[in-house]
Structure 1
Amino acid sequence: MTAKLYDLELSGNCYKVRLLCALLSVPLEIIPVDFLSGAHKKSPLIELNPFGEIPIFQDGDLVLRDSQAILIYIARKWGGENWLPTDPAGLARVSQWLAVAENEIARGPNDARLHDKFGYKLDVERARTNAVRVLGLLEKRLAKAQWLELGRPTIADIACMPYVALGHEGGVPLDGYPAVTSWVDRVKALPGFIGMPAI
C-alpha cells in the first residue's frame, strides 16, 4: 500500500517529507490540501490531525502529524541505520537537530518567511534576529563538518535544510554563510534529490 502525504507545495515541512521519500525511493501519493480555504482545519483532515496542521502522513492504518516525527518513521521504516541510527549516542545526536528544526529554525528563518511571503502577523525583527543567531551556529558547525552529525547525511540535515535554504524569502539570505551554503549544495547533490519552489 502506497503511503499518502496531505501536502502543501510551498510548505517546507511538507517538503521535508517529500524529499526524504524521494531520497529513499519510497512510493508516495501526494494529496494537495487547499490551505488557503482552511481545508486542513475542516473534515476530513481535522479528524486525521486534530491540531489542524499539515503535513499529515498516512501509511496504512497509521496516521502521523509533525514533520519531524514523520521523518523519524520514514527513516526507520525505509532508511535503515544510515538515516537514523538506533545506537543511543547516534540517535541522540541526530535528534538534537530535529529539536533545532522545530525551535530555532522554525522561530527564525521560517517565521521571517511566513511574515514576508504569506503575510503572517508576527514579530519579524525578532524572527530575523533568531535567524542570524541560528545561522551563525550552523556556520560554525558546518565549517568543520560536511554534515550536521555522524559524518554523513541523516534526517538531521533533511529536517534543518529547507527553511534555512528558504530564508531569502524572509529577508534572511545565506550571503556571508559559506559553510551553510556549501551544505545546502551537498544536500541538493544527493542522489534522488527533488526541489521545491525557491529551492
Structure 2
Amino acid sequence: MTTQQPIRLYSFPLSGHVHRVKLLLSMLELPHEVIEVNVPAGEHKQADFIRLNPRGQIPVIVDGDVTLYDSTAILVYLAKRYGGEQWLPSDPVGAAHVQQFLSLAAGEIFEGPNRVRLVKLFKSEIDYALAHRKTLAVLGLLEQHLDKREFLAAAHATIADLACYAYVAHVPEGGVDLAPYANVRRWIARVEQLPRFVPMKASPHAIAA
C-alpha cells in the first residue's frame, strides 16, 4: 500500500524517538514532510501542538485522517500498513520477539542511554549516576544478546532495531564509551549500512568511542 499524500512528521532533530520514525519512513520510501518543532522554546506544549498530541511530546505523524503519537506505536502502524512482513512479522513468535525490544526501547533504553544524553546535552535535572548504571546494564544485555546474532529480533532488520538504534548509537553523547561493546558496535554498523539509512544529527559533545 502506498500513501496518497505525504505523511506529516512533527520532528526535533536531536530526538532519538523522532529518528526511529524517520528511519522507517525512509526505508519504506514513504513520501513525507518534516515539520520541525522548536522543543527548547516549548512549541510542543502550545495549544496547536497539544491538539495533535495531548501528551505534548514528539514525534507525531499525520497520515491522511490518521493522527498518531508515541514513536513505537507509529513504527507499528507504519510497518503494518506499509511495510509487510520484514519489519513486523505477523506470526505470534516473530511479533513477540519484536515486541520484546520495543519494550526495551521504551524501558531500559529510555531510562539509561536516553537519560544520560539528556543530562549532557540539555542539562536535564536527572540522576546521572542512576542513568549511567542503567546504561551500562542495558549495554551489557545487548552485548550478550548480539553474540552470534546480526540483528535484535530476527535474521534481518525489523522495527526492533530501528527503535533501539538511536539512543544506543548516540550514547557517547551522554558520556558513555562504546569501546567495550564490540557486538553492539557491529550491530550499529549493520543498521547504518541498511538501504536508505538516514543519520541522526550528532552533537559535538560526544566522547570518542
Aligned to 2:153: 149
2: CA distance between counterparts of 1:118 and 1:86? 39
Aligned residue type for 1:136: G
1:198 Cα deviation (Å)?
Answer: 2.2
CA contact (8 A) 2:37 2:43 kept: yes
Q: Is the 8 A contact 2:94 2:154 kept in 1?
A: yes
**Displacement after TM superposition at 1:37 (Å):** 1.4
Match of 1:48 in 2: 52
Q: Any stretches of 5+ residues in structure 2 without a counterpart?
A: 204-209
Query: Which position in structure 1 is the counterpart of 2:84?
Result: 80
Give 2:160's aligned amino acid.
A
Alignment of 1:48-197 (within 5 A): 48-197=52-201
User: 2:34 maps to what in 1?
Assistant: 30
Residue 65 of structure 1, CA deviation? 0.7
Q: Aligned partners of 1:198, 1:36: CA distance in 2, in Å?
A: 17
Percent identity between the two aligned chains: 46
Q: TM-score, normalised by structure 2?
A: 0.93
Q: CA deviation at 1:184?
A: 0.3
AA of the residue aligned to 2:67: V
Once the two structures are superposed, what CA deviation does each residue of 1:67-121 show, in whole Å capped at 9, x if it has no partner?
A: 0000111111111001001111111110110000000000001000000111100
Letter in structure 2 aligned against 1:139: E
CA RMSD of superposed structures (Å): 0.9
Distance 1:2 1:20 in 2: 14
CA offset at residue 173 of structure 1? Answer: 2.0
Q: How many residues align structurally?
A: 199
Task: Report the structure, 1 or 2, having the larger helix content.
Answer: 1
Q: 1:189 and 1:141 mapped to 2: Cα distance?
A: 20
Alpha-carbon shift at residue 66 of structure 1 (Å): 0.6
Give the residue type in structure 2 aligned to 1:46: I
Gaps of 5+ in 1: none
Moved over 6 A (4+): none
